[in-house]
Chains A and B, each alone.
Chain A
Amino acid sequence: MQRTVIPALLLLSVAPLAIAKQPAPRILGLHLGMPYAQAQSRLKEIGQFKSEDEGQQVWTLSHDQRYQYAIVGFDRSRQLRYITVLARPEGKPISYSDLGDLASATRSGGPGNLRYTWKAHDDIGGFEYVVIAKGKNNRYLDRYAVKRLDVEGEMEDRDH
């Protein structure tokens, strides 16, 4: 009895020292808050421009084993506001847990429509951001996005 209690107590005492892994505010070398020109330069390195709608751009990724597309949006000061990547259907699967500690995420939806949401703070940029991973599969994601929470889109349709 005593032999099992002591290791357990040791584990409990160490647990608070471990920092839950938060997903980073960046994907594929693109980071939130990145200036437009810099983001374009990086996107050209990793893919080809596909289309643009309402100021949001779709890029086809050339060589990434995991992701097929990147979608980016900018804020009104033309800094990167969000990045969404779509998993390559036959590519290397990405687990939700690859992004961050699932225990610190909010899990919602259910089988066939699962999502994990992390809210985090970027100490360097000084902004709040959200990371959302979605997928039909319970283990592997179909897409994930990082998005700043404190800015509006470049062409976001705020009417009034």
Chain B
Amino acid sequence: MSSHASSVTRATRFSLRSGIILALAACCLATLVFAATPSSSTLNPVNGSSATWAGNGIAGATTDETTCVDGTDCDVYTITLAGSPTNYKGLVLAISISHQVKLNDYDLYVHKGGLTGPVIASSTGGIPETGEAVVIDPTVSGTGVYTVHVVDSTVAPGDPYSGVATIVTPPSDSPAHGTAPTYANYQSPTGLGDNSGEPSIGANFNSGRIMTQAVFDTLQVTFNTNTSPATATWLLKDGPNTSITTLDPILFTDSHTGRTIVSQLFGTTSLSAFTDNDGETYSVSQGGGIASGVDHQTVGGGPFRLCTADQLLVTPVPCAQLAVRGPLTQYPNAVYYASQDIGDAEMALSQDGGLTYEEAHPMYTLVDCGGLHGHIKVSSSGIVYVPNKRCGSTQGLIVSMDNGLTFTVQPVTGSTPNSSDPSIGIGSKGRVYFGYVAGDGHPHITVSDDQGRSWHNDLDVGAPFSIRNTVFPEVVAGDNDRASFFFLGTPSAGDGTGADTGTPFNGVWHGYIATTYNGGKTWFTVDATPNDPVQLGVICTQGTTCPSGTRNLLDFNDLTVDKAGRVFAAYTDGCITAACIARGNNTTASHTRLDNDQATKATIIRQSTGLSLFKGQDATPLRP
């Protein structure tokens, strides 16, 4: 017994000693092989102060910064800027990385402070680029510690990167260069989409078709690209239970799986069905996951948030918890249903492709944000986002990193609340573009590279057209650096979104699309309905308190992108007769609601030319 105990003790000691040695060896190996070399530097406020480092041999593949494991498929380099911010007047910190093989793709993120600090700059270009670069103004973001995080997007072994950080004089700002996209409008044929307030739109990457829904009609739209300009065929493809009654209509297409979910708010839940063949056949679903959900439902979906193999090794317990909320059937992606409830807003996950939903989880209460919210979007790494037009003194973004189990409310710093629901687009590597109407009515878009914890490049994209009133912001993104922002706007000042109880608002509304190809630094803004106004007079955004004749367009439009990166917008056209259009184009005529058609006609804007939202398609220019 004693001998046995002694041998166990010896074995344990040996095991412990071996473990410690192995762990130390692994640590040393990790430091030697995987960490940036050197790991840090200090730069001074002098033009030309510089440091270099090498990222030795890391390799791997990640979805975005949140899915990498330091020392395995990402590494860290720390820069300390000496002095005070004022010492850097007329100077900037330029950071770049480069590698050799065009088939590899590294991404560069710079955090202020440690890795949990805000991402103040990032460069996430893709293949075939062999470098990434950012410029930081220390007079704005301060001195002290910056953490450079280099992430393997797709990197095969044997192509280490090298990094350079230099204090230089700032490069001159350049406006958006290149050619702006152009667009064409396709109105639904008579008898289809005649009553189409608040449309949703989705693109099925498998079939190439567009699906759209507004009020009672679910429409399948096929564009014949054998002719140019392309022609559209519209077919009615109503769900079995979504053309009976309509309170709030919603359609969501998971572009990658090709599944379209249609939903009509009904009592405490929604009537809903899904189709995998663009409306040829449907399966009726549970409808939603909120027993008492009262209003303004939204359906969205995308990949589940699951751990990579590397993350599983490092953090097995959280990974197992995530996996529990993973797919339960062969349908690979998550579907989410969210709605305002009694004093709060909730979200329910479907693990079977929208057939059934779990008991909903609270996202926030009215103490945090307004009850009504924008539409759900899911990143490629499975992060769930819901935008909100009012969270305290700013707009907000509700974020779930665990498949809709828990939520945090991130203020969109720099924004101001408004009455239109904001919208987000998510780039392929996780960049969030938040499009919103500011408190002054101008259309703004701002960017986050850290899941909404910090925001940058907030721009008024309506400035080229002097837009003063805006409604229905809608955003879609493609590659990380590319996004489009659709909104209705008018240069007319005054209360263009109110109840119009005094002197009628005088204004002509058009549909505008702003597009960025450089991560939100600059935008092309285009009038996508240049000769055909969308509405004359007011567009009331005060819900059911709006007087008759002011809310024909209801509450939102929608925007999507097809497999080629071509942008499609769905909107309701309130001005469709020749007389109304002519009046809208006559700059000296009256343009009040009394001059408007009050129509609700389903219309789609289709990108005709210009670069798409997927760089990989640049070699094949879009044809009208």
CB A160 to nearest CB in B, in angstroms, measures 5
Which among A54, A108, A132, A143 is the interface contact of B365 at CB below 8 angstroms? A143
B343 engages A159 (CB within 8 Å):
no
B390 at the interface (CB under 8 A from A): yes
A25 at the interface (CB under 8 A from B): no
Q: Provide the residues of chain B in CB contact with A53, threshold 8 Å.
A: 366, 370-372, 390
Which among A58, A109, A157 is the interface contact of B296 at CB below 8 angstroms? A157
A101 at the interface (CB under 8 A from B): no
Complex CA–CA separation, A91 to B291 (angstroms): 28
B295 engages A153 (CB within 8 Å):
yes
A96 at the interface (CB under 8 A from B): no
B366 engages A157 (CB within 8 Å):
no
- Say whether, besides A108-B291, A145-B342, A157-B296, A115 and B359 are in contact (CB < 8 Å): yes
Q: Provide the residues of chain A in CB contact with B248, threshold 8 Å.
A: 157, 159
Q: Provide the residues of chain B in CB contact with A134, threshold 8 Å.
A: 362
A69 engages B544 (CB within 8 Å):
no
A82 engages B343 (CB within 8 Å):
yes
- Say whether, besides A86-B367, A156-B544, A130 and B555 are in contact (CB < 8 Å): no
CB B80 to nearest CB in A, in angstroms, measures 39
Using a Cβ–Cβ cut-off of 8 Å, how many residues does chain A contribute to the interface with B? 32
> 1/0 per position for B1-32, CB-CB distance to A under 8 A?
00000000000000000000000000000000
A104 at the interface (CB under 8 A from B): no
State which residues 109-157 of A face B: CB under 8 Å. 109-110, 112-113, 115, 117, 130, 132, 134, 143, 145, 147, 153, 155-157
Complex CA–CA separation, A157 to B197 (angstroms): 13
Which among B362, B390, B545 is the interface contact of A155 at CB below 8 angstroms? B545
B292 engages A159 (CB within 8 Å):
no
A58 engages B366 (CB within 8 Å):
yes
A155 engages B543 (CB within 8 Å):
yes
Using a Cβ–Cβ cut-off of 8 Å, how many residues does chain B contribute to the interface with A? 31
Q: Provide the residues of chain B in CB contact with A158, threshold 8 Å.
A: 247, 544
Q: Provide the residues of chain A in CB contact with B35, threshold 8 Å.
A: none
B554 engages A54 (CB within 8 Å):
no
Q: Provide the residues of chain A in CB contact with B197, threshold 8 Å.
A: 159-160
Complex CA–CA separation, A115 to B344 (angstroms): 14
Which among A109, A147, A160 is the interface contact of B292 at CB below 8 angstroms? A147
A81 nearest in chain B by CB position: B342
A132 nearest in chain B by CB position: B292
Complex CA–CA separation, A115 to B543 (angstroms): 30
B294 at the interface (CB under 8 A from A): yes
Complex CA–CA separation, A82 to B295 (angstroms): 14
A56 at the interface (CB under 8 A from B): yes
B361 engages A159 (CB within 8 Å):
no
Complex CA–CA separation, A109 to B290 (angstroms): 11
Complex CA–CA separation, A105 to B248 (angstroms): 30
Complex CA–CA separation, A40 to B543 (angstroms): 23
CB A41 to nearest CB in B, in angstroms, measures 21
7 sample A-B contacts, Cβ–Cβ < 8 Å, listed by A number: A53-B372, A84-B344, A84-B366, A113-B361, A117-B292, A153-B295, A159-B544
Closest 7 CB pairs of A and B: A84-B343, A71-B343, A109-B359, A53-B370, A145-B342, A71-B366, A157-B295
Residues of B within 8 A of A (CB): 197-198, 215, 246-248, 291-292, 294-296, 342-344, 359, 361-362, 365-367, 370-372, 390, 405, 542-545, 554-555
Residues of A within 8 A of B (CB): 50-51, 53-54, 56, 58, 69, 71, 73, 82, 84, 86, 108-110, 112-113, 115, 117, 130, 132, 134, 143, 145, 147, 153, 155-160
Q: Contacts A112-B405, A160-B247 given; 13 further ones with Cβ under 8 A?
A: A53-B370, A53-B372, A71-B343, A71-B344, A71-B366, A73-B342, A109-B359, A115-B359, A132-B292, A157-B295, A159-B197, A159-B544, A160-B197
